Amino acid sequence: MLETHDLRKVYPTGDEALTSISTTIEGKEFVAMIGPSGAGKSTFVRCINRLTEPTSGTVELDGTDLTALSSAELRDARRNIGMIFQEYNLVERLTVMENVLSGRLGYVSNWAAFRRKFPQEDIELAYEILELVGLGGMENKRVDELSGGQRQRVGIARAVVQNPKILLADEPTSSLDPETSHDVMELLTDIATDHDIPVLINIHEVDLAVGYADRLLGLHDGELVFDGTPEELTDDTHGVIYRGEELTTTEAKRAIPAGGRR
């Protein structure tokens, strides 16, 4: 279970990217965070594993406050958080297998990492997951030989091989064509159910979000302005998220979360 309380981020430039975000994500929920460019979506997911250091507030994963951890403790905690990136962020010159296995780096010694020597279970798991994401037989290809869709599958495999307690994805479909985007979304929903973990994904294509997510979070200017099911996303709430319009009072009750939904 992931819980954020009053999560706030002010960049050194003075940009207040997140004002005060409180929300809870649990079970095998597939949560899509939507909002215009610059709303703070990336900042939010990056604050969860502290790739971006939050200014104040807390992030709790299964009861542990991640913001209070030392850097060594944070490393151990990060092993439980899988992350998928818009630009894939794969190590281009390594093979598919090495990229997938790098998801297990938190569990092996420096010396084993240096020799590229991973335990048997890790390798079995990696093969299994490559099969799952549809890259069976590709393990020896170098990543820079792959197409965008294949790369993102490697990115997903690297995150899943961590056996994470939550999966984060920052615009995983933005660099892909529409058809591949659907494949990737489907894969992510399958993973949420099969591995019984929540998935939080940032996305700006609303129709993709509505099509696949169990729940939507709407972010506007660093503020959480919508929290509900895809069915609850009306034209009005859409206007709130994307144009910052005021809501009528009846809808406001439904749309604006009171300290996070339970």
Partner 1 sequence: MSVESVTWERHDRRSRLLRFAFALGGLIVVLASWQYLELDLRDFGGATAAFADLATRMFPPHLEYAPEIVAPLIETIHIAAVGTMAAFALSIPVAYLSAENLTPNRLTYALGKVIVTVSRSVHTIIWALVFVIMFGPGALAGTIAIAVRSVGFLGKLLGEELEEIDAGQQEAISSTGANRFKTLLYGVFPQIKPAVVGLTIYRWDINVRGATILGFVGAGGIGVHLYTAVDSFAWRTVAIIVLAILFVVILSEGVSAYARTKAQ
Partner 2 sequence: MVAETEQPRSTWHRPTTFYDHRVKWGIYVALAAFLAWSLWGILAGVGLSRFTEGLGYGVTLLQTMYPPRTEAGDLVRLGDRLLESVAMAMVATAIGVTISIPVAFGAAQNLVSRPIYLLSRAIISISRAIDGLIVAIIAVMAFGFGPLAGIIAISFKTVGFFSKLLSEDVEDINMGSIESVESTGASRFQTLVYGVVPQIVPRFVGLTVYRWDINIRASAIIGIVGAGGIGQLLMTAYSRYEFDYVASILLGIILVVLLAEYVSAVVRRRVQ
Ligand X SMILES: Nc1ncnc2c1ncn2[C@@H]1O[C@H](COP(=O)(O)OP(=O)(O)O)[C@@H](O)[C@H]1O
Neighbours of 10 (CB within 10 A): 15
Q: Of 33-41, 85-93, 210-218, 230-238, which part binds partner 1 (CB under 8 A)? A: 85-93
State in angstroms the smallest separation of the CB of 213 from partner 2.
33
Q: Residue 215 pairs with which residues in a beta bridge?
A: 31
Select from 41, 78, 153, 158 the one that contacts ligand X (CB under 6 A): 41
Helix, strand or coil, per DSSP, at residue 144:
helix
How many chain residues interact with partner 2 (CB under 8 A)? Answer: 13
Cα distances (angstroms) measured from residue 57 to each of 7, 51, 252: 4, 15, 25
Among 24, 42, 99, 150, binds ligand X (CB under 6 A): 42
Residue number, 20 or 175, with CB nearest to partner 1: 175
Site for ligand X in 175-234 (CB under 6 A): none
d(Cα 28, Cα 165) in Å, to the nearest integer? 10
150 counts as binding Mg ion under rule CB under 5 A:
no
H helix and E strand count, the chain? 10, 10
- What span, in angstroms and rounded, lies between the C-alpha atoms of 242 and 133? 33
| Residue ranges binding partner 2 (CB under 8 A) | 95, 97-98, 116, 118, 120, 123-124, 126-128, 139-140
| Residue ranges binding ligand X (CB under 6 A) | 11, 13, 15, 17, 35, 37-43
| Residue ranges binding Mg ion (CB under 5 A) | 42
